[in-house]
Structure 1
Amino acid sequence: MVVLNQDDIKNVFSMEDAIQADKDALKLYSLGKSAVPLRVNLDVPEHEGHSLYMPGYSADANALGVKIVSVYPKNIEKGLNSVPATMVLLNSETGEVCSLMDGTYLTRVRTGAVSGAAADVLARKDSKVFAMFGTGGQAETQLEAILTVRPIKIVKVFGISIERAERFAERMTAKFGEKFGVEIFAAKSSDEAIADADIITSVTTSKKPVFDGRLVKKGCHINGVGSYTPEMHEIDEYTITHADKVYVDTRNGVLNESGDLIIPIKNGTFSADRITGELGEVIAGKAPARISDDEITVFKTTGSAVLDIVNAQRIYENALKKGMGSIIEF
């Protein structure tokens, strides 16, 4: 059994690799070439947390496994990761566990990459200004993914703590500023963040909208990442109901789990049949993409085990080729 930590994964798997893996995974899902039950979400109210169990299998990707991930927002106050996770990868031929890997970093990279995949498929090619809401554990890879697929020159970060947003902007400037030729700074308000934004990504655990959709400019692409329960609602109803096209990673996941769409549907202002398509359907040529530079597009993701198993399998294969990881036996 190969054990892979964060450094091992970084050494064998790039953001470009993850974006391609996510595109392939969502295409397999939308073509019915994977088995992905709706994840089990256990509420842990005593600690304001959730524990999720995400199994999946795809014969075409030779990928089988389960990710165990928890979401504990208050961990930030304890100096701990707010989204700890472990990935258990199985040999699809024998059913034996072949790898354990850092699911926390896997979650970060594949979740960032799915926003990158959506932006690559849906956002304007000339996108220059990026607004990001959220500065937690998921934020860095969300930023890296967008910088990887579009020629972004300005990044405006907004969070509930201006001090955290400023510290995040400083760290990201040191890491990505010179590499991508980008200016990164903390916005003082939500309105300032989205002003002139070509791409907006929200990765928060908010139960109320984090920006005003009426101020979104024409041609903007929006990624909704953080809402994973029916009560979470970081993208406002106006954005969903007035977007030219609305996409999801999986209909099953979003329509059962995300308040961003569930709430407008309950209010009668939106309906499931107004979803333009799954991102995998667009990639497979079965749903339309952007056809005009003026269209506002929205992509909502709640995550799917198909992303985890395909990324994990490719990480494992790359690690074997490069001799990375530690070997353990029961």
Structure 2
Amino acid sequence: MITVLEGAPPMAAAIGALRASLLGGLDPEAGPPRSAVPVPQGQLLLMPAHWGSYAGVKVVSVTPGNADRGLPRIQGNYLLLDGETLTPLALLDGIALTNVRTAAVSAVAADVLAAPDASRLVLFGTGPQARSHLEALRCVRPVRDVVVVGRDAERTRTFADDIGARVGSADDVADADVVVCCTTARTPLFDGSLLPAHSTVVAVGSHEPDAREVDERTVGRSTVVVEAVSAALREAGDIVLAAQAGALDPGTLIGLADLVRGKAQLPPGRPRLFKSVGMAWQDLVVAAAHFEATQG
């Protein structure tokens, strides 16, 4: 019998599970690429993975026109399987899972990249990922001063009031310890020349090679960390476009696993950028942790 699990594990547990999987030998480069199938109203995404005692697959639909229908832009479910027999074990809300695992991965990276006393956050976006990232970063850094930047003034003000933040502008990155970009933007959100040398940027909003949230200046100035080099060069427009412009040598990209395992060199005196496209192993690790937490 398949167990239907509500929501996703607590953020701190998801962060711990992802960190432990990387320390335990999980290789993000070994995962299969995301399958994206165009359909008339958007995309269907298929994300399978296998690790340890489990396998699983997430099926997601992306429908840009749903906003006008009062429906979510992204919908989906996650099926967790036994790793040996491939017997279905549990069904999870794919969007709740995505919201937690995306922010949790960012927190794993930020815990190594950001200054220990990082307290000022500039947050681009007003949706579920913005909210989840604030929660996740507060698990690893003493975030106290939050500035929100959004396209819709009323929505931005409402969101900022709800999370106890201030409304700001793109220029606020000049004083940021951490900048988080979780938007649907296809062009850069801020001028990378404004970033302080001590800052850390997290960009998670896009997974298409022709879309980006950060400019070539940001990429060129920064030590750049990605979940997997192969995935970044395939899907991360922030990386692909900067490399095409000559602002980035792909050979300098640092994989998240090497970062967590302490194998990466982080030069002082320059910003740090974590670019995430979202990968299937992350869903699997967090889904498995949630399933195990509910058993017996």
TM-score, reference length from structure 2: 0.94
Q: By how many angstroms is 1:256 displaced?
A: 0.1
Q: By how many angstroms is 1:56 displaced?
A: 0.5
Encode CA deviations 1:82-121: one digit per residue, 9 max, x unaligned.
2212100001122111111111100000001111111111
Q: Report the CA distance shift for 1:28/1:228 in structure 2 as closer, same or farther (over 3 A).
A: farther
Q: By how many angstroms is 1:43 displaced?
A: 2.2
- Contact 2:219-2:247 within 8 A present in 1 as well: no
**Does 2:46 align with 1:53?**
yes
User: Could you tell me which residue of structure 2 aligns to residue 2 of structure 1?
Assistant: 3
> Secondary structure, in 3 states, of the residue corresponding to 1:270?
coil
Q: Report the CA distance shift for 1:27/1:80 in structure 2 as closer, same or farther (over 3 A).
A: farther
Structure 1 Cα separation of the partners of residues 69 and 83 of structure 2: 38
Structure 1 Cα separation of the partners of residues 272 and 80 of structure 2: 34
Structure 2 Cα separation of the partners of residues 110 and 78 of structure 1: 27
Counterpart residue identity of residue 258, structure 2 = E
1:230-309 to 2 correspondence within 5 Å? 230-243=209-222, 245-275=223-253, 277-288=254-265, 290=266, 292=268, 294-309=269-284
Q: Report the CA distance shift for 1:68/1:26 in structure 2 as closer, same or farther (over 3 A).
A: farther
User: Could you tell me which residue of structure 1 aligns to residue 166 of structure 2?
Assistant: 185
**Does 2:117 align with 1:126?**
yes
Structure 2 Cα separation of the partners of residues 227 and 24 of structure 1: 26
Encode CA deviations 1:277-297: one digit per residue, 9 max, x unaligned.
111111122222x453x3310
1:79-98 to 2 correspondence within 5 Å? 79-98=70-89
Encode CA deviations 1:221-279: one digit per residue, 9 max, x unaligned.
00010120011111101000111x1100111211100110101112222221021x111
Structure 1 Cα separation of the partners of residues 17 and 3 of structure 2: 20
User: Could you tell me which residue of structure 2 aligns to residue 311 of structure 1?
Assistant: 286
Structure 2 Cα separation of the partners of residues 33 and 195 of structure 1: 33
Q: Report the CA distance shift for 1:228/1:113 in structure 2 as closer, same or farther (over 3 A).
A: same
From 52, 58, 65, the equivalent of 1:67 is 58
Encode CA deviations 1:28-84: one digit per residue, 9 max, x unaligned.
56x54885200101223x32x22211000012xx22100112233443333322221
Counterpart residue identity of residue 235, structure 2 = E
User: Could you tell me which residue of structure 2 aligns to residue 139 of structure 1?
Assistant: 130
Q: Report the CA distance shift for 1:171/1:80 in structure 2 as closer, same or farther (over 3 A).
A: farther
From 12, 15, 19, the equivalent of 2:15 is 19
Structure 2 Cα separation of the partners of residues 150 and 300 of structure 1: 19
Counterpart residue identity of residue 156, structure 1 = V
Q: Report the CA distance shift for 1:135/1:26 in structure 2 as closer, same or farther (over 3 A).
A: farther
User: Could you tell me which residue of structure 1 aligns to residue 90 of structure 2?
Assistant: 99
Structure 2 Cα separation of the partners of residues 312 and 57 of structure 1: 12
- Contact 1:82-1:137 within 8 A present in 2 as well: no
Percentage identity across paired residues of the two chains: 36
> Secondary structure, in 3 states, of the residue corresponding to 1:285?
coil
Structure 2 Cα separation of the partners of residues 83 and 42 of structure 1: 14
Q: By how many angstroms is 1:26 displaced?
A: 4.0
Structure 2 Cα separation of the partners of residues 274 and 284 of structure 1: 17
Structure 1 Cα separation of the partners of residues 64 and 138 of structure 2: 26
The gaps in structure 2 that reach 5 residues or longer are none
Structure 2 Cα separation of the partners of residues 291 and 261 of structure 1: 19
From 37, 46, 58, the equivalent of 1:42 is 37
1:165-180 to 2 correspondence within 5 Å? 165-173=156-164
Give the CA RMSD over aligned residues. 1.7
User: Could you tell me which residue of structure 1 aligns to residue 174 of structure 2?
Assistant: 195
- Contact 1:67-1:86 within 8 A present in 2 as well: yes
TM-score, reference length from structure 1: 0.85
- Contact 2:11-2:100 within 8 A present in 1 as well: yes
Deviates more, 1:80-89 or 1:226-235: 80-89
Q: By how many angstroms is 1:22 displaced?
A: 2.0
Q: Report the CA distance shift for 1:285/1:320 in structure 2 as closer, same or farther (over 3 A).
A: same
Structure 2 Cα separation of the partners of residues 34 and 287 of structure 1: 16
Q: By how many angstroms is 1:300 displaced?
A: 0.6
